[in-house]
Amino acid sequence: MTAKIAPSILAADLLHLGEQIAAAEQGDADRFQVDVMDGVFVPNISFGLPVVAAVRRATKLLVEAHLMIVEPERYVEGFAQAGADVIIVHQEAAVHLDRIVQHIKQLGKKAGVALNPATPANVLDQIVEQVDLVLVMTVNPGFGGQTFIPHTLRKIRQVQQLLAARNPACEIEIDGGVEVDTIGAAYEAGARVFVAGTSVFKHPAGAAAGVRALLGAVAASGNRAE
């Protein structure tokens, strides 16, 4: 499977969101991620349903809603209706994770489960066959522009081994500190979808160049990039 870039709207210029999305598409972005933060599960407040709906109107690519919120089960239906194709919930925030995953899939959406840096990969054991995507956080969630945590590479490898044995169609995505000097090692560890905010939307040559630079870094490390 080739590398896929998922620009994070958190780092975009919201006054020119449509233009920013179009530019990232020109660089061969695969999908877009909207970070939904409630100020409780993570120490920041960001976007909600209207922004997901706006991104949905602006692109035909996949739209991910990454729910960094408490009680995510209360909101998955709303995000599905807003146009999210993939709904990602945190294992740490979900009391009944299996129930939430099944609800997301019943809504006709892809279900993702996110793991914070300190959460071990083995928490996926009872749910691994049910999910479409595992998101390994490579920073502590809540803010953009953070530095990649190196020890998360070990967890990416562990998740890859688990999925290879029990759910090989499931995607491994990472989020946090994705830069040209970190993406190659994460790809080699098993990640295939890369959420990138600052390195895309703050690239000095524009979002398209930011996406291409990340894909080029994967290729330069001896891997295949899309």
Q: Supply the residues annotated as catalytic.
A: 35, 175
The residue among 103, 91, 84 whose CA lies nearest residue 127 is 91
Runs of H (alpha helix) within the chain: 17-26, 49-58, 76-82, 97-106, 152-166, 183-189, 198-201, 207-220
| Residue 161 DSSP SS3 | helix
> Could you tell me if 154 and 117 are in contact, meaning their C-beta atoms sit under 8 angstroms apart?
no
**Structure tokens belonging to residue 75:** 């909101």
* Phi/psi at 120 (5° precision): -75, 155
Structure tokens that stand for 78 in this block: 């709303």
Maximum distance among all alpha carbons in the chain?
45
CA dist 226 → 1, 70, 72, 217 (Å): 9, 35, 32, 11
Task: Please compute, for residue 20, the number of CA atoms within 13 A of its CA located in the half-sphere on the CB side.
Answer: 21
CA separation for the pair 67, 80 (Å, rounded): 12
The pairing of strands 193-196 and 171-175 is: parallel
